[in-house]
Chains A and B, each alone.
Chain A
């Protein structure tokens, strides 16, 4: 099992550019989520999904868009990158909301110039 696969690992963008962070899991997990990790702060939830076709906003959703067309994939889109979006992003999945351990991807380090 590959677990949670996140790409790319590193990305540099210019302000105003758009990009998509990919996240895929092969564990048939219903729940998937995106977090950002910034120095001195805990992981903060951007968006999450409790199943295919269902997404919801987290704590810091502005500037990000998600979709969940399949159980396996949960891409995160940056619509118009800003320097404030420079961060490390983690995708996570678990069996269902509030159920089971969390599985994380390796992280994606994004720098917006």
Chain B
């Protein structure tokens, strides 16, 4: 089964800072998902990518297939970005092919 590691586990930053969250995995994959979960809330898909880079508003996701690594960047961070960010990979095991990381808990202070 694919091993998915996210770093950091917890991150506290000031409003306006540039944020980077990392995801590494152990076995080759076909795609990677970035998900967002607000406190007490549901889970929302931010990106699904298999190569290169995707951008949506202030969020940027990149993936390096050779290095088995992905990053999620948040530019001009805002308190409403406070959430848990979850990386999930497709391929390399798991009953339905998906393996989830444990999440990165981000707090943006005003």
Which residue numbers of A lie inside 8 Å of B, CB to CB? 31, 33, 35, 40-45, 48, 56-59, 90, 92, 97-98, 100-107
Contacts and interface: CB of A to CB of B under 8 A. Distances in A.
Contacts of B97: 97-98
Contact of A104 (B43, B48, B102): B43
Contacts of B33: 101-102
Interface in B44-95: 44-45, 48, 86, 88, 90, 94-95
Interface residues of B, number: 24
Contacts of B95: 45, 48, 56-59
B13 interface: no
A88 B102 CA distance: 14
B44 A41 contact: no
B84 to A, nearest CB: 10
**B interface: dominant SS:** strand
A97 B43 contact: no
14 contacts: A33-B96, A42-B4, A42-B100, A43-B100, A56-B96, A57-B95, A58-B95, A59-B94, A98-B31, A102-B33, A102-B88, A104-B35, A105-B42, A107-B41
Contacts of A98: 30-31, 90, 97
Given A40-B102, A103-B45, A107-B42, 18 more contacts: A35-B100, A41-B102, A42-B4, A42-B86, A42-B101, A44-B100, A45-B94, A48-B96, A56-B96, A58-B95, A58-B96, A59-B95, A90-B43, A100-B48, A101-B45, A101-B48, A102-B48, A104-B43
A33 B43 CA distance: 14
A104 B37 CA distance: 10
A91 B34 CA distance: 17
A59 B97 CA distance: 11
